[in-house]
Amino acid sequence: MPPPLDPETASSVIHLPSHATTVTAEDLLARLINAADDGATTIDASASESIGQAALQVLLAARIEARDAGHEFHIIDPSPAFVERMEKCGLADAIGLIKTIGDQA
């Protein structure tokens, strides 16, 4: 697991909505594209209560694009619901879940 990330120093933080659905996936995609231009991208998943297939696909594609471009991509403060969804889909490792400073338990 990568070292903890300090969200205060992250170059671009995108906050996931509480319910990331197909409807919100297009906005998420646009924000991720803009963030990718800045280099490192950080996703704050602390408010996530549910995440649909389209949003999952957008996040995974953004993670792969960032890796291929040599950019950092982090998900911080994942809510229990977000972690559970990633684990049930077998995507926790692929999406790159990490803990933030102060959440070392």
What does the DSSP 8-state code read for residue 8?
G
Bridge partners, 42 (sequence order): 13, 74
pTM beyond cutoff 0.85: no
The residues near 19 (Cβ < 8 Å, ≥ 6 apart) are 49, 50, 51
Report yes or no: 60 and 83 within 8 Å, Cβ to Cβ: no
Q: Is residue 33's pLDDT more than 60? A: yes
| Pairing, β 73-76 against β 13-15 | unpaired
Better-predicted residue by pLDDT, 98 or 105: 98
Percentage with pLDDT > 70 across the chain: 81
Domains observed in the chain = 10-95 (3.30.750.24)
Better-predicted residue by pLDDT, 5 or 34: 34
Report yes or no: 85 and 50 within 8 Å, Cβ to Cβ: yes
The residues near 9 (Cβ < 8 Å, ≥ 6 apart) are none
- Average pLDDT of span 92-103: 66
Q: Is residue 27's pLDDT more than 90? A: yes
Length of the chain: 105
pLDDT category of residue 4 using cuts at 50, 70 and 90: very low
Residue type at position 11 = S
pLDDT digits (tens, 9 = 90+) for 72-90: 899 999 999 999 999 999 8
